[in-house]
Structure 1
Amino acid sequence: MITHDDITKMLEMEMQPALGCTGPTAYALAAARCKPFLTADVNLMNIYVSPAFLKIGFGVATPGTTEPGIGIAAAIGLLGGDYTLGMEVLKPCTPQNIQKAQLMVDEGRVQIFSDGEETGVYVRAEVITNNETVITILSGKHDGIISVSVNGQEMFHNEDSLKEIEQDEVFLTPDIIFDYISHVDTKELQFLLDGYKMNLALAEDGLKNEFGLHSGRAYLRSTFQKNKVPADLFEQPLKYLPVTLDKKVQILVSAASDARMGGSSYPAMAAMGDGNQGITAILPVGLAAESYNSSKEEMIRALALSCLMLFFVKIHIGRSAAFCMCAIAASAGATAGICYLKGLDEKAIRGAVKNSISPLAGMLCDGAKNGCALKMSIASMTALNAVELAESGIEVGYFDGVADNTLEETVNCITDIANKSMDLLDELMVNSILLKEERKRKKCKTI
């Protein structure tokens, strides 16, 4: 049975800073883990990924560059990454590392393969020199290095920590979460406030600079009449944020995604290995706490509730899914956290979470990309609307599609659909990516 201390440990382990999108970060980490065993120049690096992870790296930039793709992320990790930093593996990378990595990719010394036999989070980096072949396998978690071998001899093996975490997670339920939130000493969870500040700084970077889709900047600019846009709007963006919570959430959540997907060097506080989910679960709750003049203790409890409700949903569906987990899991968290700040009881919170995840259940995860900002904006706005409806006693139920009488039954229904459709949906989405790439190559040949 999961204990109070187990839950605190889970929060500490699963809420961690991550530099860049955790898809490219995982490729970089796997490649960087090979580096200590290399004794000669690299001839070739092969990166094998599950279909789910192929789509994750296709359209998102690696920090320090606007270049999207799996190859460049892995090459930068190999040449400049430090695997001991985990999800911040790319922190020590320099412009020179990035330049050399780009050359390595341009020379065709990085090859990407989809391994159809693997599912979920899976990366295998194979680095070949004249002296050795080093293989690192990352599985289950975005920082879950489980094996390193050199010339066929395994030098490192560790799957125990992941299994231990998963065993604890199985027992996490809404009842246990609510009890924990009521009794936890908030001094144990100060790092969640740091996570809020971290994601807010990332959002500010997304407003100051033209990262990704520029959606946060567009939302901010739209709050002013065309001829009354301040000259220093994007130099001091936080100064010009609107007063209304919904617009403020939309701007900052979108901007944080713009920055993270577009190559910002600012980290995000990630949730269960995903920075966008951490942004969507944390920023709306922190902004709501400030808007409602909540106490520091109330804010911490609300942030913890948001994270744990995200965990509850994601544990069922899995760490990698064909459905957008910002829409399903992170919106569930944001909804619960905001409800807590508004003083809603447990029954209302459960109803609000159902109101949030039910209409978003069919949103596909078609990879990490600049357009994630749009989905995160929708998820955040839906969370706010779900809270508003729950305040009026409105709750979807048995006759409302994937929704059911209870939150647990609703999550079970969505989980069943997500798990049974995942392989097919991932295959179709990966095929669409490959067709786009083939079309691009054919077009280049005709020019």
Structure 2
Amino acid sequence: MNTIFDAYTKILTEELKPALGCTEPVAIAFASASAAKALGTSFTSITVKCSGNVVKNVKSVTVPNSGGMKGIEAAALLGALGGNASLHLEVLSTVTDEIRNKVKEIVNSGICKVILAEDIPGLYISVTAENGSDSATAVLKECHDELYSLSKNGKLIINNGTKENSDDNLDELRKLLNLKDILSYAKNVEIDEIRKPLKRQVELNRAIAEEGLRKNYGCSIGKTLKKLYDWDDVRIRARAYASAGSDARMSGCSLPVVINSGSGNQGLTVSLPVVEYGEYLRSTE
């Protein structure tokens, strides 16, 4: 059982990662920052090739830390010019006013070309940065924040989804997952084993929810629930906090969210109602 519990702790720690904004535009920025870094020089053009599902998810959301910009081109250019690829899903946290202004100037210039990846389901992003005869390409496939491949001038730097800084094959560990052991793990794991990722999840997700309740983001669903319904009803608060967090992150709020299964909205949905009910019941940590 210890082996299974150790595996589950590693999976949980890997899954509960902070991400800045909607994960699809951030994934594009991460790939773009990776390609630009591998190119090693300033780029003259960027080509982004995405699956239809990525295009759909990026189309209308505000790119985080962008000053209100939307779309694939904005995400790619912000990542390439001002992103820090080593920060993965927080890649755009390093973007400055200077970079934002530069991207606003060139986003519609044609320097970034977007292509639909035909007949490729799910998550697929390929970003190529070019300068003369030199080019570098970063590819994400079925994972928002780990490179499937990275190459420069046709020479592979990272191949076949090799995960950097990882001692375990998480795909193999996930094969141990089953409902009976998940329930046993949830009931019996020592809280100190998982305190760090869960504490971060509670603190970061609650912070962006509070932000969504304070200001007007998106459809302001969280604020509307608070205004029109009984705030003393824990069921209303549970809905409102999750909604407010989503309102904020989908509208470009610069606060991070701890994701679940690659999704920030899922991360908010599975955590904030539980936190609200826990406080209502005066549960222990």
The CA deviation at 1:213 is 1.7
1:260 maps to 2:225: no
Equivalent residue, structure 2, for 1:178: 183
Aligned residue number for residue 144 of structure 1: 146
- Per the alignment, residue 62 of structure 1 pairs with 63
Q: Which deviates further from its counterpart, 282-291 or 105-114?
A: 105-114
Aligned residue for 1:74, secondary structure, equals helix
Aligned to 2:48: 47
What is the DSSP-based 3-state SS (H/G/I as helix, E as strand, rest coil) of the residue aligned with 1:73?
Answer: helix
Q: Does 1:292 align with 2:259?
A: no
Aligned to 2:17: 16
Specify the alignment match of 1:274 in structure 2.
263
More helix by share: 1
Q: Aligned partners of 2:179 and 2:69: how far apart in 1? A: 41
Give the alignment partner of residue 168 of structure 1, picking from 152, 155, 173. 173
1:27-55 Cα deviation digits (max 9, x unpaired): 00000001223354322111111122111
Judge which range, 114-123 or 7-16, deviates more: 114-123
Q: Supply the AA of the counterpart residue of 2:252.
A: G
Aligned Cα root-mean-square deviation (Å): 1.9
CA contact (8 A) 1:39 1:131 kept: no
Amino acid at match of 2:202: Y
| Alignment length (residue pairs) | 279
Letter matched to residue 228 of structure 2: S
Q: Which residue number in structure 1 is paired with residue 103 of structure 2? A: 101
Is 1:243 the counterpart of 2:249? The answer is no
Alignment-mate amino acid for residue 17 of structure 1:
P
Secondary structure, aligned partner of 2:49? strand
Unaligned runs of at least 5 residues, structure 1? 225-241, 297-447
If the length of structure 2 is used for normalisation, what is the TM-score? 0.92
Structure 2 unaligned spans of 5+: none
CA distance in 2: counterparts of 1:28 and 1:63, whole angstroms: 10
The letter of the residue matching 1:264 is C
Distance 1:167 1:56 in 2: 29
- Deviating more after overlay: 14-23 vs 106-115: 106-115
Question: Offset at 1:80?
Answer: 0.7
- The question of whether the paired residues in 1 share the 8 Å contact of 2:38 and 2:151 is answered with no
2:207 equivalent to 1:201: yes
Amino acid in structure 2 at the alignment position of 1:3: I
| Larger RCO (CA within 8 A; separation ≥ 6) | 2
Q: 2 CA distance for matches of 1:75 and 1:210?
A: 27
Counterpart CA distance in 1 for 2:114 and 2:174 is 33
**1:128–1:134 Cα contact (<8 Å) kept:** yes
Question: Structure 1 length as normaliser, TM-score?
Answer: 0.60
Are the aligned partners of 1:40 and 1:130 in contact in 2 as well (CA < 8 Å)? no
Offset from partner CA, 1:301-358 (integer Å, 9 cap, x none): xxxxxxxxxxxxxxxxxxxxxxxxxxxxxxxxxxxxxxxxxxxxxxxxxxxxxxxxxx
Alignment partner, residue 6 of structure 1: 7
**Alignment match of 1:212 (pick from 213, 218, 224):** 218
> 2:4·2:176 contact (CA, 8 Å) conserved in 1?
no
CA distance in 2, matches of 1:45, 1:3: 44
- Superposed displacement of residue 278, structure 1: 0.3
CA contact under 8 A between 2:147 and 2:162: conserved in structure 1?
no
> Which structure has the larger Rg?
1
